[in-house]
Chain A
């Protein structure tokens, strides 16, 4: 690790102010990506501003038809939150699948969404549920937020403060883990909104990061059942291909996992 200056912010405003003062500052949330990258000397921020202890950034709340998860809430808290399990059980289940216990005690939803790893779990739920990302400056709809691999609509220095999920009529997540990293080799989140719309988001598979799959959405809108995906054709073009999953294998997994996610959703 290169030398850096660590700051523990006590409020979002303080964090933003510290960020502005650093020459090449980075926000630190759970540190599950940033710290390993720094240890490998692949990142050398001048200042590291820790958001994880800011009280206003921690907590899970259900109000009406919305479940709000504050940005620095660790995955473990979401996985075990009574409010999350009651409102969107598929989301709590997704959180329970992230990494391993050590990762889940530290990693946060805000960190995951800000990093936007193409194989992370949360982006699939965020996009499929049509969540709203709240920052210290504005709100951003999920459809406008994800911009490709490790790229988001966030501006320099902008801090995610919370993510609001509309409670769906039905939702399910099915993940096929990468054998080594346990990220999603392919993960599919399916959601049927209370207004009857269907949204399907896939993580881990695409060269462009999390993506919606219109063909699956149309098939499931016509017939909400696992067998409805059988007739859908998923092209392998544009999909990731690596040691653990070729693009045609991932195309197959998108269909198989979509069907299983629908079964899980009920």
Chain B
């Protein structure tokens, strides 16, 4: 590794502009003649729209238009799609109601748009929105799955009787029942996985600019995957053909999954820009983010695990109700199925697994992938289960895990996934050593003497990342392939531009991707720039989510680099009058191995572009591209252990220690990896202790601001102790597994296991607020 190569903790190139206020986010962009959109949103969770009177608003000077749901439907803008088809156990396709970009007739969650005001200023648009009178006829509403599946519950969509989208199963039911029939012990657990609001720092924003002469749209948007946005807008929403639609996702301030989807606001802005002939900007405020950004999680689960007499797991049964909210968001259907139930083997040998997942509509904000997406729910279930089992079977929780770990690879689970490599004992051993697991009993006794309840909790997670082999996901119902593309452009003066279909919204690609180039060519990263986030610059890409950009996106860059290097070596060999096979690349030079003959990269590049003396038949230029489709998912895994104290007087939890031992395969930039883990752990701990998107019984949201929704803050979190135990991923040439979601996947179970250990009671749900913990301590 060089000082800037793979494995170096290079300081992030992009941070200078971010920390000096020079980032260019969508809301920073102002176009000539730009107008501003303000959406009129339903205050009701479920209602008929009986009429919209915009006459007073239209009289306000500066109001350009008031457009309604009926108009967007009449103009044949397509309904929002769900891009992953799931088939129910009876063979029927999933049952979905239509989701128009603005509701023409019926609103089904608080915050759903019914109309939009376009005006000369943002404030004017807001003033005018207050002058629009919407006449609603309220309907009964339902917010939670348990109520929504009951007979007589309010019905959301006639297409989905009983509010049921699908009833999907995976695994071998007969084999699982047989395993349970002969089990020595069965452990049962009921769990709720709390609904979360993603809350990236930057709210969503969009600017649509229609060029009437060219009949061409430009959309600036807060997207994790601008090419997918263009594809969907073009192919399904009838906005414009792809060559007449440019999508730009400039600096984006965090996504966590919530900016994967193409939202109604972007569709409306594009449509309104053509209708008004003016650029249209919309920037959501924090309340709109709470109401309309796709939420995460929200499962209700019953699970049973069967053990034989020697405490080996013999079977797992899971039944989960997943709350989808009022409409099926873009990838929502896949989250509680192929991203959740396929991980239910965890790190363990479980010979028989059967899971049933029932997807349910409710009058709430649509739910989709949020950091971890299905895998945190699976990991939380299994790791609460292992802890519960250890207590019931009266064995040490770490020992029970070790006795059941998968140790032979590759390992085919009963739920599709084939784990390629791992060393789960190594991670757990490292975490146990880091936290002095053996000395815990003494520390617990000391804490007790000081009036505190101390607990320790283990969580051993595994996730499927680097999504994914296109053929595999296609066979499971995905509407897209999940490869990545890259292009390497060596300029005539030897500087290098890397065009990538990955999208950085905080991950540090502008640094890590350059490190690969530095590693291979020995040039400083200052000579390399990363180009992403613009459909006019990068031909195509699948974007960034599912911890895929290093494992898939960077591998695509590697493939393009290899092609470029091969051509450059030919040019160098020709110039040096040497054999191509003898050329090696070192410190930015092409050298004839074993001699002092060399030619620097800029001279090779110049030769490629002057084309005065190229090998016969060679095309000028030095630019190569590649598409890379992985052969398998990657399987990051690790062990987290949390030690904490509970104040019995208040139920307040205080961290003593939190250790993480992760196996991410090869690390490109350990400092950035550490940052990713910190952020993931903050969100996992946030789910465990603080965060909860709550609706009342009328489906009114009661946590739509930071006064009520508890975001994790620095002083809520411990100082993390991180370490790595590494097995290289055999599925990609760099050996990378991915690190973006691990913390959010593994942390919450460790925290809850530690609290339930501290208080000696297991019936605790997330978030474990002080009130809940205090109540559980004092429960019968």
Mark A residues whose CB is within 8 Å of B.
Answer: 1, 41, 176, 179-181, 243-246, 249, 252-253, 256
Taking chain B's interface residues, is the majority helix, strand, or loop, or is none over half, making it mixed? Answer: loop
The number of residue pairs between A and B whose CB atoms lie closer than 8 Å in the complex comes to 43
Chain A nearest CB from B41 CB (Å) reads 14
10 CB < 8 A contacts A-B: A1-B123, A41-B126, A176-B652, A243-B702, A243-B708, A244-B708, A244-B710, A245-B771, A249-B775, A252-B774
Contacts of A41 in B (CB 8 A): 126, 130
Mark B residues whose CB is within 8 Å of A.
Answer: 123, 126, 130, 649-652, 690, 692, 694, 702-703, 706-711, 769-771, 774-775
Taking chain A's interface residues, is the majority helix, strand, or loop, or is none over half, making it mixed? Answer: loop
Chain A nearest CB from B278 CB (Å) reads 24
Q: Are A243 and B703 in contact (CB under 8 A)?
A: yes
Query: In whole angstroms, what is the CA distance A180 to B774 when docked?
Result: 18
Chain B nearest CB from A3 CB (Å) reads 8
Query: In whole angstroms, what is the CA distance A180 to B771 when docked?
Result: 13
Lowest 10 CB-CB distances: which A-B pairs, in order? A180-B710, A256-B649, A249-B771, A179-B710, A181-B707, A245-B771, A180-B708, A256-B650, A246-B771, A243-B694
Contacts of A179 in B (CB 8 A): 690, 710, 769-770
* Contact (A180, B770) CB under 8 Å given A249-B775, A256-B649, A256-B650: no
Q: Which residue of B lies closest to A259 (CB)?
A: B649
Q: Which residue of A lies closest to B692 (CB)?
A: A243
Q: Are B650 and A253 in contact (CB under 8 A)?
A: yes
Contacts of B123 in A (CB 8 A): 1
Contacts A243-B708, A244-B710, A244-B769 known; 11 new A-B pairs at CB < 8 A:
A1-B123, A179-B690, A180-B708, A181-B708, A243-B692, A243-B694, A243-B702, A244-B771, A246-B771, A256-B649, A256-B650
Q: Which residue of B lies closest to A1 (CB)?
A: B123
Query: In whole angstroms, what is the CA distance A244 to B703 when docked?
Result: 11
Most buried by B among A179, A249, A252, A253: A179
Query: In whole angstroms, what is the CA distance A176 to B651 when docked?
Result: 11
Chain A nearest CB from B702 CB (Å) reads 6
Query: In whole angstroms, what is the CA distance A149 to B253 when docked?
Result: 39
Q: Which residue of B lies closest to A246 (CB)?
A: B771
Q: Which residue of A lies closest to B652 (CB)?
A: A176
Contacts of B707 in A (CB 8 A): 180-181
Chain A nearest CB from B317 CB (Å) reads 33
Chain B nearest CB from A115 CB (Å) reads 15
Q: Which residue of B lies closest to A183 (CB)?
A: B707
Contacts of A256 in B (CB 8 A): 649-650
Query: In whole angstroms, what is the CA distance A165 to B640 when docked?
Result: 51
Query: In whole angstroms, what is the CA distance A41 to B122 when docked?
Result: 14
Contacts of B709 in A (CB 8 A): 180
Query: In whole angstroms, what is the CA distance A246 to B652 when docked?
Result: 15
Contacts of B703 in A (CB 8 A): 243
Chain A nearest CB from B235 CB (Å) reads 39
Query: In whole angstroms, what is the CA distance A176 to B770 when docked?
Result: 10
Query: In whole angstroms, what is the CA distance A253 to B708 when docked?
Result: 19
Contacts of B651 in A (CB 8 A): 249
Contacts of A244 in B (CB 8 A): 708, 710, 769, 771
Most buried by B among A180, A249, A253: A180
Contacts of A252 in B (CB 8 A): 649-650, 774
Chain B nearest CB from A145 CB (Å) reads 25
